[in-house]
Structure 1
Amino acid sequence: MDLQKILVVFTLLYAPVLLFSFEPKGPLRSKNYYVPFIPFYSFPGEGAASGEKGSLNVTLAQYYVQDIVSEFHSVSTGGYLMERFTDYEGYVLEPTLSFNPLDSLEAGITSRLHFYYGGIFDSVFEAFHELFGFPNGGRESFPQNDVYISIHTTSGIDLFLDDNLTAIGDTDLFVKWSFLNISAMDLALWGALKLPTGAMENISGSGYADLGLALLADFHFFKRFAFFLETGIVLPGQLLAGKSEYPLPVFHLMAASEFMVTENFSLLLQFKLNTSPIAEGVTVPENITYTAKLIQPMTNILFGAIWKAGPVKIQFNLEEDAFTNNGADLIANLTLSTSFDLY
Structure 2
Amino acid sequence: MRPCLSGLGAAAILSGALSGVANARQDFVFSAFNQAALARHAPLPMPGPAQPVGGWRTVLDWTSEFVLQQAAGETVRLDGETLRLGLQRSWRRDDLVLGVELPVLVSGGGVLDAGIENWHDWFGLPNGGREQVPRNEYRYTYTRNGETMLDIDAGGVALGDIRLDGTVCGLAGGCARAMVQLPTGDPDRLFGGGLGASGWYERAYALGSDARWTGVFGAGLAALRADGPLEDMQQTLVPFGWLSLGYALTDALAAGVQFYWHAPLYDGSGLAALADPGGQLVFGFAYRSAGGTQWHVGFQEDPIIDASPDFVIHLSANWGSGAQ
Partner of residue 110, structure 2: 119
Asked whether the 8 Å contact 1:159–1:203 carries over to 2, the reply is: no
Q: Please show how residues 179-218 of structure 1 align to structure 2 within 5 Å.
A: 179-180=170-171, 186-206=173-193, 208-218=194-204
Q: Distance in 2 between matches of 1:150 and 1:266?
A: 41
Which residue does the alignment assign to 1:135?
A: 126
Select 1:92's aligned residue among 84, 89, 95.
Answer: 84
Alpha-carbon RMSD across the aligned residues, in angstroms, is 2.6
1:35 is matched with which residue: 34, 37, 41? 37
Q: 1:262 maps to what in 2?
A: 250
Contact kept in structure 1, 2:100 and 2:162, CA below 8 Å: yes
Deviation at 1:27, TM superposition (A): 1.1
8 A contact 1:62–1:92 mirrored in 2: yes
Q: CA deviation at 1:204?
A: 1.4
- Aligned twin of 2:266: 278
The answer to whether the 8 Å contact 2:34/2:278 transfers is no
Q: Does residue 340 of structure 1 match 2:318?
A: no
Q: Do the aligned partners of residues 328 and 144 (structure 1) sit closer, same or farther apart at CA in structure 2, a change above 3 Å counting?
A: same
Give the match for residue 4 of structure 1.
none
Match of 2:222 among 234, 240, 250: 234
- C-alpha offsets along residues 152-198 of structure 1, whole Å, 9 cap, x if unaligned? 689xxx654201311110000000111248xxxx3100011111111
Q: Does 1:224 align with 2:212?
A: yes
Structure with the larger RCO, 1 or 2 (CA within 8 Å, 6+ apart) = 2
CA contact (8 A) 2:90 2:98 kept: yes
Against the structure 1 CA distance between its residues 264 and 153, is the aligned structure 2 distance closer, same or farther, given a 3 Å change threshold? Answer: farther
Hey, what does 1:314 align to over in structure 2?
295
Structure 1 unaligned regions, length at least 5: 1-20, 76-80, 282-288
Equivalence for 1:330:
311
Letter in 1 for 2:37: V
Counterpart Cα distance in 2 of 1:213 and 1:73: 35
3-state SS of paired residue (2:27) = coil
Task: Give the C-alpha shift of residue 202 in structure 1.
Answer: 2.1
Deviations 1:187-229 (CA, angstroms, capped at 9, x unpaired): 10001111111120121113x4201100001112432111321
Match status 1:301 vs 2:281: yes
Structure 2 residues without counterparts, runs of 5 or longer: 1-22
Aligned to 1:15: none
Instruction: Write the letter of the residue equivalent to 1:200.
Output: P
Q: When the two structures are superposed, what TM-score results if normalisation uses the length of structure 1?
A: 0.78
Distance (whole Å) between structure 2 residues aligned to residue 174 and residue 116 of structure 1: 26
Q: What CA distance in whole angstroms lies between the structure 2 residues aligned with 1:180 and 1:74? A: 49
Could you say if the C-alpha distance between residues 296 and 129 of structure 1 is closer, same or farther in structure 2, counting changes exceeding 3 Å? Answer: same
Number of corresponding residues: 291
Q: Is the 8 A contact 1:85 1:149 kept in 2?
A: yes
In structure 2, relative to structure 1, the CA distance for the partners of 1:251 and 1:74 (3 Å cut) is closer
| Whole-angstrom distance in 1 between the partners of 2:169 and 2:224 | 25
Distance 1:273 1:47, change over 3 A: same
Alignment-mate amino acid for residue 67 of structure 2? V
2:68 aligned residue: 70
